[in-house]
Amino acid sequence: MGNAEKLRLIKNYLAKSPRIDSITIYSYASPEGPYSFNKKLAQERGRTAKNYLLSHVPAGRNLADSLIILDPTAENWVGLREEVLENYPLSDKQEVLNILSRTDVSDAKRKIMLQRLNNGKSWEYMLKHLMPRLRYATWISVWVPINKEQALPLSSIQETVLPTIPAPEITPIDLSAAEDTKTILALKTNLLYDLASWVNFSIEAPVYKDRISVLYYHQFPWWRWGKANNEFCMRFLSIGGEARWWFKPMPRPATPKRIKRDKFMGHFVGIYAESGKWDFERKHDICYQGEHWSVGLSYGYAMPISKRLNLEFSVSAGYASIPHRGYEPSQDYSTLWHLPEKDGTWKYFGLTKAQITLVCPITLKVKKGAHP
């Protein structure tokens, strides 16, 4: 970004100025990241620039440390607004400028507002194309001649004036041909059930923008083991569905291990219904089979854990009805005898499910529409 030329001019200025009255170093960090880190970064940039100046003072010249003033700015919001004015091509440019111009919100709130805009795409563009141009230090030197007789002719110092160096050109982006990814569905499995050998899977698909989705889930552990495979039994066949409303998430900056999803992210609420049949047997102690159905509400939160996977946490509460029949196996477990006195229906209202779900979003590459 022209550093070599700027540094050459600064060294030339130090060599030809009759007397340095003061030097102010304005150092900056770009607005992304934690404020405390940005503040430390801006301070370090200023100190580095100061050390560079002191190490390049010409021989025989004395530049007192006290003449160099540091003025760090933790987050260069003014510079970001200028960059947006000059080099921001997306269609929501005016919305971005409105947020950057607001004086009634804190910088932290401003950052959140920009991150939420346009599902995070605006913030992503600024991170990639504009923020790197805001990480710099600017030197301003003021020199004062001792008197008119000792003042240098203008022609001898013209070269030392720091010119305005134009910003590097940004290669135009053909947004109409750019590719983006769109989540079309997600494959899921409940890790808590998997740990218990409770085979399960679910499929979720968006049905309305980024807000409403439908989920189908299927559970089918179908095990028998023990004497002649009849001593123990854990069989459970259940199908269910859920409609979900997703709250608009607050996007987070992408990293090599985590990228933002356009769907199935953040907080959600849902309404579910499920039904199925089951059979549980433990020798002669617990021997029941029957059906079940349940309806209720769900709440959960999903977040990305890698470029390909999300992790979802959810709980459900509602009503469950479980008709059941008791039985008694014979001594060799070859025959099951029905025990009518153990028949009945269990009814329950309360917490029905708790899930930690591994999610694999399936994405499709699509072309972005052209931005005006």
Cα gap 355→365, rounded to integer Å: 30
Average pLDDT over residues 312-337: 90
Residue 359, pLDDT > 60, answer yes
pLDDT, mean over the chain: 80
pLDDT at 145: 57
Instruction: Give the chain's domains with CATH numbers.
Output: 3-160 (3.30.1330), 179-367 (2.40.160)
Cα gap 268→206, rounded to integer Å: 13
Residue 317, pLDDT > 80, answer yes
Record the tokens describing residue 159, joined without a space. 């070269």
Average pLDDT over residues 38-44: 87
- Asked if 356 contacts 311 with a C-beta cutoff of 8 angstroms, the reply is yes
Q: Which tens digits make up the pLDDT trace of 195-213?
A: 888 889 999 999 987 789 9
Q: Which tens digits make up the pLDDT trace of 109-124?
A: 888 888 888 888 888 8
pLDDT at 175: 40
pLDDT at 301: 93
Return the percentage of the chain with pLDDT > 70, whole number: 79
pLDDT at 52: 83
